[in-house]
Amino acid sequence: MTLDDALNHQFGYAAFRPLQREIIEATLAGTDVMALLPTGAGKSLCFQLPALVEPGLTLVVSPLIALMKDQVDALEANGIAATFLNSSLDPAEAARRISALDRGRYRLLYVAPERAVMTGFLSGLDRWNLRRIAVDEAHCVSEWGHDFRPEYRQLASLRERFPGVPMLALTATATGRVRDDIVRFLALRSPQRFVASFNRPNLRYAVFEKRDAYAQLLSWCTARAKESGIVYVQSRASAESLAARLSSAGISARPYHAGLSREERSRNQELFIRDDVRVICATIAFGMGIDKPNVRYVVHYDVPKSIEGYYQETGRAGRDGLPSECALFFNDGDAAKQRHFIRLIPDATERQRAGRLLGQMLDFAVMPQCRRAYLLRYFGETEVPDECGNCDNCLHPADRVDGTLAAQKLLSCVYRMREHSGFSSGAQHIVDVLMGKVTEKVRDRGHERLSTFGIGTEFVKNEWLALISELLRSGCLEEDPQYRTLLLTAEGRLALNERRTFTFSKPRVIEKVKKARGRASAIAVASADEGLFEALRHLRKEMADAQDVPAFVIFSDATLRELASAKPATLAAFRQIGGVGDAKLERYGERFVSAIRLAQQEGTP
């Protein structure tokens, strides 16, 4: 069977996505591979398809045992023999699966990294004709990654035990430094490296001014009541309270954080994955390895700690390729809170690193330029358009205003305050002085007596902060990494003396997140029949519940959208839809085609 035949017959796709064929051919040739593909780009296929076209067992190391069953269910729905071994199995069931492995029953075996290096398990691998080792979420091996797990470094022992078995390391998020760590700590041998673009064109990025945050969130979720979403928060208490408030308002929601019992975390995650709960309010403990492809939005209720974390978390939206939304609710209080926590970090090196990462995240939050371009350049991409057409700054560019006189006032104020007090001040205090606010700090430092006190009433606070961001980017100001105070640079003195011209983007004032009614939403997808899509979604849920599997195991939203548009009335036509392989045609074809025919008959006048 050729790769193209296997792709079509088992998975129902006519063509590979970028880099998939190259990665598959490299691992089939027996070469070690390090592959970076963004979430939704088809990483799993890179080890699933090779397992079908050659004999032997593919070992898949996955970090979360809670998701292994869903991954195996999805493979079995496509007619692929796969299983998992983890602590959720009782001894009798585990023994049955090991016996089936001894008989060569399975093509893929999923395990956690801890099990993969156990002596007894390694003895089993000696018997099971091990053909390939796939390490998913391979960035976990690096302490410079955002999900470092020490147990991942033990996987290098697999190379010593099975020197002739090729290893395939996959991740969706990794800087150059993390990619080098993956190669080093997994002991990959002269690996071929494949790095796809980090671009997720179906995701719309937007930042909203955080005012009445809960009202904004409720408005957002209500406008998308039929869709699944993740709300990321910084604290366990926020996860609990938001989930409770949304549920009381009619939005089915559950919390997820490390403080819950293992059973409750698993139950809430299962409810979400199976579409029985629409919203998960979670800390960063939630999400890695989530297979749910129909997450239509991710909201960051609090500012993330790094660009890498933000990218990884937003990447859980739209894995099926359909339009999805990524919203960040942000205000200066969030930034101040994060800086406070960073100041409490005892290790100076780690404190500086955390401050740098947060600074990059804050730049993203306040920037007036294309947000997608910022993300792509952060991860090292060079050929990046200046505008993407699918972020808030590209869709609704902020007004650029003349800030020349304001910049003179601000730079002078920074200079006068330092001259008066002998030390520098933070952005918030500087703005208070410019706007003539007599705060306790202003009185204590005598700054109400400065010539620059109250000379900046023409701008509101956020406008002054936007100008400060512009002056930081231009090098006229710099921020002390430890105390987060602002310093006038040599470049700033020169700009002050030369009366240099400045413009800056006025921040958008957004009272609340508008409801989607009556406007084009990023999650609105063109379909010939929205009613048919909902009918097919209902049928899919009914069938999934009967089989005790998540709905996406039957078909993805992308497949249902295509069905609702093409309306295939025969099994032959149904087989031509993306995501319909031979096994799913036989298992589900009749019921879906019958539902489509019935809908067409009922719609005929």
Q: 185 and 142 in contact (C-beta within 8 Å)? A: yes
pLDDT confidence bin for 472, thresholds 50/70/90: confident
Q: 6 and 53 in contact (C-beta within 8 Å)? A: yes
- pLDDT score at 513: 45
Residue 519, pLDDT above cutoff 50 = no
- pLDDT score at 328: 95
Q: 385 and 327 in contact (C-beta within 8 Å)? A: no
3-state class (DSSP) for residue 420: helix
Q: 556 and 294 in contact (C-beta within 8 Å)? A: yes
- Listed in sequence order, the residues at least 6 apart from 428 whose beta carbon sits closer than 8 Å to its beta carbon are 332, 336
- pLDDT score at 522: 46
d(CA 556, CA 292) in angstroms, rounded, equals 9
Whose CA is closest to 581, among 172, 139, 79, 25? Answer: 79
First to last CA, the chain: 47
Residue 549, pLDDT above cutoff 80 = yes
Residue 209, pLDDT above cutoff 50 = yes
Q: Report the percentage of the chain scoring pLDDT > 90.
A: 63
pLDDT confidence bin for 408, thresholds 50/70/90: very high
**Model's pTM, two decimal places?**
0.78
- Give the 3-state DSSP-derived string for 349-360, with helices as H, strands as E and coil as C: HHHHHHHHHHHH
Mean pLDDT estimate for the chain: 89
Least confident range of 35-49, 269-283, 579-593 = 35-49
List, for residues 478-498, the tens digit of each pLDDT value: 888 667 789 999 999 999 998
- Residue 306 is which amino acid? S
